[in-house]
Structure 1
Amino acid sequence: MTSRPAEAQHLRDLARLRRVRDRIDREYAQPLDVEALARGVNMSAGHLSRQFRLAYGEPPYAYLMTRRIERAMALLRRGDLSVTEVCFAVGSSSLGTFSTRFTELVGMSPSAYRDHAARAPQDLPPCVAKQVTRPVRNREARSSGRG
């Protein structure tokens, strides 16, 4: 049986983790790092990373990259931006890192995804397209220790 103070602390930590997750969702295109996110909720970077992983299944930086890749997928489906433009529009500062992470999460390179999306039926509502194209970490990415 947990004590009331421990339970209250756990609830406060969950609320802080939700604030971090919400900030990542809002500011994914901004330069965010775990230290800045942790400072924003008065936690150490290590504690934030451990607790975030327990609560959401991946550490904050991996969650941020997933949000960026989701947004990149939407921009690439539009087809009016280059891969480099999309990379910088979603907040990535390195085309190489962006392309590597995109390929890990989506299973194909950003340019291959853009070409594939151009050939796909365009009559899917955006809410359906977002759901069926949501990036899911593949086993290779998980076992390589990234994220």
Structure 2
Amino acid sequence: MRARDAMDRSYAEPLDVRAVAAVAHISPAHFSRCFRAVFGESPHRYLQRRRVERSMFLLRESDRTVTDICFDVGFSSVGTFSRTFREIVGQTPSAYREGHGPIVAPHCVQLAAMRPRSSAGRPAQQSTIG
């Protein structure tokens, strides 16, 4: 948990497994295995996802360029940022910004608009107790 918290705090800085494993006081190989077992993804993928989550917020709430946001969240290459963003979100950063600009609506409507949808595009079915 200390290592994950360190990654959350320092996501925009250059981080490698060795540095994060040192926070947990274990070897890099053991840290990678334990992290995947506990959180279901590699430390590298977790860090990428954390950076993409932050970039999603910046794309929605600021008018900064995609390039500036890329470097602000810790990516060192716009190409890697765009590819990773698309893998995680399903669209490019520019397309995401076009479809998710600031919403002028009550807060409850904004939250509903940002709620993840089912992968099939249909609302989840409710089970009935009969």
TM-score tier (shorter): 0.7 to 0.9
Conserved? CA contact 1:52–1:60, under 8 Å = yes
- Counterpart amino acid of residue 84 in structure 2: R
Q: Where does residue 85 of structure 2 map in the other structure?
A: 102
Consecutive unaligned residues of structure 1, counting only runs of 5 or more, are: 1-17, 134-147
With the length of structure 1 as denominator, give the TM-score of the two structures. 0.71
**Taking structure 2 as the reference length, what is the TM-score of the superposition?**
0.79
Which runs of no fewer than 5 residues in structure 2 stay unpaired? Answer: 117-130
Output one character per residue of 1:81-105: Cα deviation in whole Å (capped at 9) or x when no partner.
1110110110111111111000000
- The alignment status of 1:92 with 2:75, answered yes or no, reads yes
SS at match of 1:108: coil
* Counterpart Cα distance in 1 of 2:112 and 2:13: 25
Equivalent AA in structure 2 for residue 105 of structure 1: I
The whole-number CA distance in structure 2 between the counterparts of 1:53 and 1:99 is 24
- What is the CA–CA distance in structure 1 between the aligned matches of 2:15 and 2:112, rounded to whole Å? 27
Residues 74 and 130, structure 1, Cα contact 8 Å, conserved in 2: no
**Conservation of the 8 A alpha-carbon contact between 1:79 and 1:114:** no
Shift of 1:74: 0.2
Count of matched residue pairs: 115
Deviation of 1:44 (Å): 1.2
Highest relative contact order (Cα 8 Å, sep 6+), 1 or 2?
Answer: 1
**Equivalence map 1:132-147=2 (5 Å):** 132=115
Matches within 5 A, 1:5-16: none
1:49 to 29, 32, 35: 32
1:122 alignment counterpart: 104
Q: In the TM superposition, what whole-angstrom CA distance separates every residue of 1:19-73 from its partner, at most 9, and x where no partner exists?
A: 0111111111111111111122221111111100100010111111111000000
CA-to-aligned-CA distance 1:126-146 (integer Å, 9 cap, x gap): 99379626xxxxxxxxxxxxx
| 1:67 maps onto 2:50 in alignment | yes
Same amino acid, percent of matched pairs? 48
The residue aligned with 1:29 is: 12
Aligned-residue RMSD, C-alpha:
2.3
SS at match of 1:58: coil
User: Structure 1: which amino acid aligns with 2:91?
Assistant: M
1:79 deviates by: 3.8
